[in-house]
Amino acid sequence: MKIGVLRERLPGERRVALVPDAAAKLIAAGHHVVVERGAGSAAGFLDAAYEKAGVTLVADVAALAAAAPDVMVKVRKPSADEVAALPKGCTLIALLTPGANEEILPALASAKITALALELVPRITRAQSMDVLSSQSGVAGYKAALIGAAALDKFLPMLTTAAGSIAPAKAFIMGAGVAGLQAIATARRLGAVVSAFDVRGAAGEQVRSLGAQFVEPAAKAEGTGGYARAQTEDETAQNAAIIAAHISSQDLVITTALIPGRKAPILVTDAMLATMRAGSVVVDLAAESGGNVEGVVAGETVVKHGVQLIGAVNIPASVPLHASQMFSTNVRTLITHLTAEGGALKIDAADEVTGPMLVTNAGEPVKR
């Protein structure tokens, strides 16, 4: 199988889909890897490292397409122009933002491209090592705690100084999925007193195992695949009362709640923000999906009632080296899964991993 690696062109995107070490392992398995020059530079992986790994470097997308790879990999979804430059009939693997990529569907169809969306890796044991969303969410949760700590007007840990003792800051993590758990762990390591809320009651054990207080939901909303389900109006009101009673005493709030395929739920209202101490900080990791906080603006920091609202976007790209290594491991494992006997590419729409990931199959949109 021949695998092509595209350079990311989205402003601020510093990750690369395949790092030199992963490329070397694919080559050792009998594959051929072709990489666009500069693809890994922003993440600290220079062209020389790829050459040492045994990959073939090419100048641009046109040269990459001319190499006729069976599979093209990248981090973020390509533009329509990028899709048009891909070799006809190839397989594209990337974060394709299903449901919001209609503008590239005609280009995928015209080029008869099979597109696999990394967001759609199913949450099953067999696919855990391919789960890009989980690996990148862990990066986001870690960095969110650091962003919040840097913006806060006080220390996180308790300090004993000649000027007296300073009480630790209180951090409240909303959503105890992969991002939330990593935010809890990081805030704890930084010395904050941490509490967390999740509508999935089963998350309580994980929160407590990290040394944080679990704020029990008034109404649980367990979903499928490890996600929460949408709440009814009554459930939302009950849980909002619990959150409102707790949030007023918090210095740092990190929100992480997402529902696949839907707008992020509002968890923190303007009225709740008004009860928080001026100088407090809220980091909203769901800002790109509409936000968990009323008034948040994706990619911006705004101040409401003296509280900083940080609309975090594409946080994993701010930790590009490790984020790329993790992303690359997921992609390499997926490619290994897609490798048939003899090393050829095999796309099986009936496979429990591959099937759910298909956005287009030989250019034809896959209906759910």
Active site residues: 123, 128, 131, 134, 227
Closest CA to 271 of 244, 301, 308: 244
CA distance 70 to 58: 16
Q: How many residues does the chain have?
A: 368
In angstroms, the CA 104 to CA 93 distance is: 14
- Distances in Å between the alpha carbon of 269 and those of 134, 202, 282, 349? 27, 25, 12, 43
d(CA 168, CA 159): 7
Residue 72 pairs in a beta bridge with 4, 92
CA 162 – CA 357 distance, rounded (Å) = 59
CA 149 – CA 226 distance, rounded (Å): 29
Which tokens hold the place of 299?
């990619």
In the three-class reduction of DSSP (H, G, I as helix; E, B as strand; rest coil), residue 79 is classed as coil
Q: Which DSSP string corresponds to 114-171?
A: EEEEGGG--SSGGGGGG-HHHHHHHHHHHHHHHHHHHHSSS-SS-EEETTEEEPPPEE
Select from 216, 206, 158, 152 the least CA-distant residue to 184: 206
